[in-house]
Amino acid sequence: MNKPTTQLTPLLQKEPIISTFDSRTIICQPEEVITTYVQHAATYVVLDHLRDLEHRFIDKIIKSQSPKACLVARYGYGKTTAAIGLWDACRRAQILAIPPAGYTSVAEIANTVYSWTRTVLHGNESALTKLDELHSTYLQSPTEELAKLVSRRTQHSYEEVFEVLTDPALQGSLRLDPPATNIVLFLEAITHIVVDNGYRGVAVFVDEFQQLLGKAGADILTSLRSLVWGLRTRKIQFGLAITMDPNSERILGERAGDILHRIKDDDLYLDFRQIHNAEFPKLLWERFAKQLELNELTYLIVDKPALEALGQICERADLSNGPRTVANAFRRIKCIPQSCCFLCRNRKNLYSPTTDRRFPYRCYYF
């Protein structure tokens, strides 16, 4: 049997909060993104509500139902972790899945899909040629066209002109996105290319939706409406998953309720308050114990009253940060001295909320 401290190592390595990559990192450092997210996915424990959503999301993609999933939770409640788990499930189902990332425009999403697909299909020259043709047809922005025109009429290179037009340090920098309808057509066309090359579909993950929503101005709402409604009217092997906090959900509902309703239409909407209740720590610990093969040590390391107490704290927003607090508590378990783990085989020496505090090797997991 492995030492308990060795078996619990994944808990120590698991981060309670996962930072979201931006689109630039997804495009420029794909290997780093994959390595980081796969490490997180390896210690991800999917709960029943999320497992059901995963299965239905993947099934709808494969059946060309263009599904839209939405995960709603406060900061620190596991939105990004769940998105990574769903991303990993899609990968294992042979779906070309663009990793969860934060975006500031719908055009940025499309360009990231293009770049990631090029990375995945890098050895397929025929597919790459088709991808480049799609990009030129649908994603060539007016800013790029203007830069080419100015370059032809002056002695400056295209790169120099484009840098000046889009330099954020210059007052009035020019950034024009392609029409939103073009983006939907692009996503439809790229999905066909991906499926023709052996994949079962495409999945895109928009994490931290508040970055995309911004101030919920008319431009971004128009783009979002075109994207969501455009997917709703198409039957393609493409799925869109979004994570957002309750405030962003409220703002979207107030400013563009039709968009939120269309997202919910696919019955892939999950509010994390449904799963992070008083039973969450006990359920999560049991799943961890099974995954880490703790067997008879499951309740010899942490007893049920301790998990119940943690659950009572977890469901109180004024006392904890929900699952983040639970994750931090579980990480502390690895700090238990090995001698304590040995002594915990004896029930009378097990630390619990009622343990004699004079016990020299009691388990500090809070």
Q: What is the pLDDT along the chain (366 residues), one digit of tens a residue?
A: 455 555 556 555 556 567 889 999 999 999 999 999 998 887 787 888 899 999 999 999 999 999 999 999 988 788 999 999 999 999 999 999 999 999 999 999 999 999 999 999 998 999 999 999 998 888 876 666 666 766 777 778 878 776 766 666 554 444 546 677 889 999 999 999 999 999 999 999 999 999 999 888 898 999 999 999 999 889 999 999 999 999 999 999 999 999 999 999 999 999 987 777 788 888 888 877 887 777 777 777 788 888 888 888 888 877 887 777 887 887 776 555 444 444 344 444 454 555 434 333 333 333
In 10 A of CB 364, how many CB atoms? 12
Does residue 9 form part of some domain? no
Same domain, 250 and 317: no
Amino acid type, 148? K
User: According to the model, what pLDDT value does residue 141 have?
Assistant: 60
Q: 162: part of which helix (H) or strand (E)?
A: helix 158-166
Does residue 3 form part of some domain? no
Does residue 5 form part of some domain? no
Full residue range of the structural domain in which residue 48 is found: 15-141+177-274
Same domain, 23 and 94: yes
* Spatial distance between the Cα atoms of 42 and 88, rounded to a whole number of angstroms: 9
Does residue 355 form part of some domain? no
Three-state secondary structure call for residue 286 = helix
Answer yes or no: are the C-beta atoms of 365 and 333 closer than 8 Å: yes
User: According to the model, what pLDDT value does residue 210 have?
Assistant: 93
Does residue 124 form part of some domain? yes
Q: 256 to each of 23, 221, 245, 250, how far by Cα in Å?
A: 25, 7, 16, 10
* Spatial distance between the Cα atoms of 361 and 336, rounded to a whole number of angstroms: 8
User: Which of the listed residues 274, 306, 335 is the one where a domain comes to its end?
Assistant: 274
User: According to the model, what pLDDT value does residue 57 have?
Assistant: 98
Answer yes or no: are the C-beta atoms of 23 and 102 closer than 8 Å: yes
Q: Helix 180-196 vs helix 125-134: angle between axes, to the nearest 10 degrees?
A: 170
User: According to the model, what pLDDT value does residue 143 have?
Assistant: 65
Same domain, 78 and 188: yes
Same domain, 283 and 257: no
Q: Which residues contact 343 (CB under 8 A, 6 or more apart)?
A: 349, 361
User: According to the model, what pLDDT value does residue 19 have?
Assistant: 80
Same domain, 214 and 344: no
Does residue 319 form part of some domain? yes
> For tokens 């040629």, what's the residue?
129
* Spatial distance between the Cα atoms of 209 and 109, rounded to a whole number of angstroms: 12
Same domain, 82 and 23: yes
Q: Looking at the 3D structure of the chain, how many domains does it have? A: 2
E strand segments, 192-279: 202-206, 238-244, 269-271
Same domain, 268 and 299: no
Does residue 171 form part of some domain? no
User: Which of the listed residues 226, 258, 274 is the one where a domain comes to its end?
Assistant: 274
* Spatial distance between the Cα atoms of 310 and 26, rounded to a whole number of angstroms: 37
Same domain, 29 and 130: yes
* Spatial distance between the Cα atoms of 87 and 93, rounded to a whole number of angstroms: 10
Sign of dihedral through CA atoms 250, 251, 257, 262? negative
Amino acid type, 20? T
* pTM given for the model: 0.78
User: Which of the listed residues 227, 248, 274 is the one where a domain comes to its end?
Assistant: 274
Does residue 305 form part of some domain? yes
* Spatial distance between the Cα atoms of 218 and 271, rounded to a whole number of angstroms: 27
Answer yes or no: are the C-beta atoms of 175 and 143 closer than 8 Å: yes
* Spatial distance between the Cα atoms of 104 and 207, rounded to a whole number of angstroms: 11
Answer yes or no: are the C-beta atoms of 85 and 270 closer than 8 Å: no
Strand partners, 119: none
User: According to the model, what pLDDT value does residue 174 have?
Assistant: 47
Same domain, 213 and 128: yes
Same domain, 225 and 320: no
Cα 302–306–312 angle (5° rounding)?
Answer: 140
Same domain, 88 and 235: yes
Three-state secondary structure call for residue 357 = coil
Give the CATH number of the domain where residue 243 resides: 3.40.50.300
Same domain, 258 and 189: yes
User: According to the model, what pLDDT value does residue 295 have?
Assistant: 79
Q: Which residues contact 247 (CB under 8 A, 6 or more apart)?
A: 210
User: According to the model, what pLDDT value does residue 263 have?
Assistant: 94
